[in-house]
Amino acid sequence: MASLMRSLLSSMNQRSADEGRSFFSAAGGQTKLGQQLFPEQVTIRSDPAAVAAPGAPWGDSGLPQLPRTWVDQGRIADLACDRFWAQKTGRQPIPLASNLLMSGGSGTVADLVSSTERGVLITSLWYIVSVNPRTLLYTGLTRDGVFWIENGKIAYPVTNFRWNDSPVSVLSNIDGMSESVRASPRESTATNISVPALRVKEFELSSVSDAV
């Protein structure tokens, strides 16, 4: 989830949305700012002083990092905007977030497993590559353990997979959330992200992989 949500937040850019190159673009040269795109339990914030996962107090071009809500109960609340595009369009510049704080539910990964009749537990995603920025479709591989869940228990390990999916789809299919905890993306040592584990109704595992 740390990897997927970091990919989502880094795509929330005003210029690409204005120019029609983004998932956050809308018809007629508009953007999806203010639209309800996710369930109400999804809130994503940044705050450099957050105890859970602090971030740098400055951002692009030395812009100050202020507490900011990017997704407010499922509604797109803000997009990052660099100095050039802000000046060109008459906006205030907004730096990319220096940390990511996603709201969660309660309990742990073990609690999500115990309430799952049948499913797949994915512990890590890596080698993530953008496929289509207009839909936020990504592809990548699983790693560090994939397990089959049956009747609320981990039954046995399964192979790694290639996956093709979008953080948009993941957030739209939430069926359960653990509490939010600090977590590092598989491909990074970043400590500025706090996210919950999610149980989702569907996630596209497109093919078997020999990754270990």
Query: Closest by alpha carbon to 117, among 1, 23, 201, 8?
Result: 201
Q: Is the pLDDT of residue 190 over 90?
A: no
How far apart, in Å, do the first and last CA atoms of the chain sit?
20
Task: Give per-residue pLDDT as tens, 32-50.
Answer: 999 999 999 999 999 999 9
The confidence score (pLDDT) of residue 160 equals 95
What is the Cα–Cα distance from 91 to 164, expressed in whole angstroms? 35
The total of other beta-carbon atoms located within 10 Å of residue 36's CB is: 13
What is the Cα–Cα distance from 140 to 126, expressed in whole angstroms? 6
Helical (H) or strand (E) element with 14: helix 14-18
Q: Is the pLDDT of residue 176 over 90?
A: yes
- Name the least confident of 37-41, 164-168, 182-186: 182-186
Average pLDDT over residues 133-145: 94
Mean pLDDT of the chain: 95
Structural domain spans, the chain:
2-102
Q: Is the pLDDT of residue 212 over 80?
A: no
Residue 101: CA count within 13 A, CB half-sphere:
16
Main-chain dihedrals φ then ψ at residue 92, nearest 5 degrees:
-85, 135
Cα dihedral across residues 131, 10, 39, 119: positive or negative: positive
Task: Give per-residue pLDDT as tens, 73-124.
Answer: 999 999 999 999 999 999 999 999 999 999 999 999 999 999 999 999 999 9
Query: Closest by alpha carbon to 97, among 7, 206, 36, 33?
Result: 7
Does the pTM surpass 0.85? The reply is yes
